[in-house]
Amino acid sequence: MEAETSGSIRLGDRAPFDRRLEDGLSVRLRPIVPKDRERVQRAYELLSEESRLNRFWERPQRLGEERVERLTDVDGSDHVAWMALDPGDESFPGFAGGSYWREADDPSRAELSFTVADAWQRRGLATLLFSILWFEGWGEGVRTFVGQCRKGNLAMVSWWADLGGSVVEEARHFQLTLALTDPEIFLERIAFEVRPSYRRIEAASWLRDWRGMAG
């Protein structure tokens, strides 16, 4: 599938760049790279058991080397991953990370996942990273995000539905699907939506920012 660019450059070409969340938290955004292996491992070790289970469906004390390699083995197209760091503390492993993996048999679909450190959950970090992955993914030809969610992770279910995604209950998990819209068209339509959710408004605000950066 031929990629359709949302702008003249990728956001990764401008990284790292800093932004401030609505509650005042400053974050530094950049793609994850292979040399982040130790950073990813340290970030995992700081997660609660519940957060580990929500993200990885298991909760060992440390991530296996194969899992860490998969998380940091990015190519900017089939596997895209970004992280939100503390611009004032380089030693801190990070507030959050988000990524997508395109499906081999249908590259227009990609599995979406996030990890947000416990103390910084429900502050908009997932929506921020989602907007980047949406913007970058659309330019690479991604048209649908999919995922799976534990039945106990109701915060994720609510967040996904607020963004307009579908949630289907399976025997042991929820199956998540979110059809993407061209960011340009989404930004035109959001102004005319009747009572759009806060998450969609939040995503639109970031998408306007990324459109300006991309030119």
Pick the CATH number of 11-214 from 3.40.50.2000, 3.40.50.360, 3.40.630.30, 3.30.70.560: 3.40.630.30
DSSP 152: T
Tell me how far apart the alpha carbons of residues 179 and 164 are, in angstroms, rounded to a whole number. 8
| Dist CA 27 CA 36 (whole Å) | 17
pLDDT at residue 95, as a whole number: 96
Measured at the CA of 154, the angle between CA 70 and CA 178, to 5 degrees, comes to 60
Distance of alpha carbon 148 from alpha carbon 164, whole angstroms: 16
Q: What per-residue confidence (pLDDT) applies to 8?
A: 58
What does the domain layout of the chain look like in residue ranges? 11-214
Cα distance between residue 123 and residue 117, in whole Å: 11
DSSP string covering 18-49: EEE-TTS-EEEEEE--GGGHHHHHHHHHTS-H
pLDDT at position 61 is 78
Could you give the CA distance from residue 93 to residue 46 in angstroms, rounded to a whole number? 9
Q: What is the pTM of this model?
A: 0.92
Q: Which residues pair with 20 in a beta bridge?
A: 26
Q: How far is CA 70 from CA 22, 65, 108, 204, 212, in A?
A: 32, 9, 20, 30, 32
Which helix (H) or strand (E) segment is 108 a member of?
Answer: strand 106-116
pLDDT for position 152:
84
Question: Can you give the pLDDT at residue 23?
Answer: 94
Show Cβ contacts of residue 131 under 8 Å, excluding neighbours closer than 6 positions. 203, 206, 207, 210
Q: What is the pLDDT of residue 51?
A: 87
Which residues, in sequence order, are bridge partners of residue 145? 110, 178
Q: What is the mean pLDDT of each successive set of 10 residues along the chain, which is 215 residues long? A: 54 96 96 94 90 81 86 93 96 95 97 93 96 97 95 91 95 94 96 94 97 90
Contact criterion met (CB below 8 Å) for 169 and 152: no
